Amino acid sequence: MTKTDKKPVTLRQVAEHAGVSAATASLVLNGKGEISEATRQRVLSAVREMKYRPRAGRARPDSVHTLRFLKIARHGHTVNRDHNHFISDYIDGMSYEATRRDYSLQVESFEGTDVDKIAESLRSGDLRGAVILGTELTEEEVQFLARAPLPVVFIDTYHPLLDLSFVDMDNDQAVFAVLRHLAGRGFRRIGMVASHTAVTNFALRRDAFLRGMAALGLEADEALILSVDSTLEGAYGDGLAQLAAAPRVAEAYFCANDMIAFGFMKALREHGLRIPEDVSVVGFDNLPMSAMSEPALSTIEVPKRRIGAMAVRLLDDMLIATAPEPATKVLISGALVSRESVGSTGGD
């Protein structure tokens, strides 16, 4: 058989020719998934036209492969019991998608564990890929864990300049939805309760706040941008101290997450301000208690199950590919949940 320089056709090329994702093409070839007949025929036609042949040894055996979710708390100010429901939704999305694609999903938790030991957990012989909760990881820790000898996707964090795969909420879109909502209620003096806790999404939301205010033609007054710890008690204590020292108070505040909003609302009340009569407040995350707070908190619903499912899809794409896959970054839009913590300006 003569050698040729022509490279073999890849599954991704077949998928592109058929106008579907690599994951869908894989499901068709494996006879799995709820795929329409029209889509199935398009994929099979593409296989015939392109003379695609799966590379030897790359087809999945009948045994179930294992994916692992690493829940990592570095400082515990956000990855803690207050956010267990939030993280459980991530796991639900991953578990559903893993089962649908014939993977088993393991969950491993690390609290204050050395990053070297976390990396060691990714060297298990039967492990095929990992989804890593990057909430409390620094950029350097993300890069270190990404050196694992298997496909890795990070969720709940985002570093646009790194050549790695991420699935995160779209902070710019979500924060702009909050600001547009507040501006629509007549507010112009809008502040933010940011956080100095080391969480990348907090920094991204602060940047998104500044960009969103500029896009709406509103001034982002630095005196109205507070910075608090991200725990309930920390946000309350820091918020109370900063309100007492602030030269002025905003008409409305966007808080970097719901726990910060709960603590800050307590501080506002102790400062003699009513919500929403004097000050409006919006959070981010839509934790279960946001609907039961007094007043009920307006917030951003994060599509947590979709984020978890998408991370597994990206891993599956990497695992079935016949050539190295480029890094993929996915940002998923959130939705504003309007409740009683937002009023309107007296002049409107």
CATH class of the domain defined by 65-169+304-333 = alpha beta
Instruction: Enumerate the CATH 3.40.50.2300 domain ranges in the chain, comma separated.
Output: 65-169+304-333, 171-302
Beta bridge partner(s), residue 148: none
Q: Which amino acid is residue 262, in one-letter code?
A: F
Q: Is 288 exposed, middle or buried (0-12, 13-18, 19+ CB in 10 A)?
A: exposed
Q: What is the DSSP letter of 247?
A: S
Task: Give me the pLDDT at residue 31, please.
Answer: 64
Would you write out the chain's pLDDT as a tens digit for each of its 348 residues? 444 456 778 877 888 899 887 767 877 776 655 678 788 888 888 888 888 876 544 444 445 689 999 999 999 999 988 888 899 999 999 999 999 898 999 999 999 999 999 999 998 778 999 999 999 999 999 999 999 999 999 999 999 999 999 999 999 999 999 999 999 999 999 999 999 999 999 999 999 999 999 999 999 999 999 999 999 999 999 999 999 999 999 999 999 999 999 999 999 999 999 999 999 999 999 999 999 999 999 999 999 999 999 999 999 999 988 888 899 999 999 999 999 999 988 444
**C-alpha triplet 153, 154, 159: angle, nearest 5°:** 120
Q: Are strands 252-255 and 280-282 parallel, antiparallel or unpaired?
A: parallel
Fold exhibited by the domain 171-302? Rossmann fold (3.40.50)
Q: Rounded to whole angstroms, what are the CA distances from 257 to 174, 203, 235, 272, 320?
A: 12, 12, 10, 23, 37
Q: Whole-structure pTM over 0.95, yes or no?
A: no
Q: Determine how many CB atoms are found less than 10 A away from the CB of residue 214.
A: 11
Task: Give me the pLDDT at residue 2, please.
Answer: 46
Q: Which amino acid is residue 259, in one-letter code?
A: M
Residue 128, φ and ψ in degrees, nearest 5: -100, -30
Task: Give me the pLDDT at residue 11, please.
Answer: 78
Q: How many helices (H) and strands (E) does the chain have?
A: 11, 12
Query: Which SS3 state, helix, strand or coil, does residue 3 take?
Result: coil
Residue 317, φ and ψ in degrees, nearest 5: -60, -40
Answer whether 224's CB lies under 8 Å from 254's CB: no
Of the candidates 170, 74, 180, 76, the residue with the CA atom closest to the CA atom of residue 117: 74
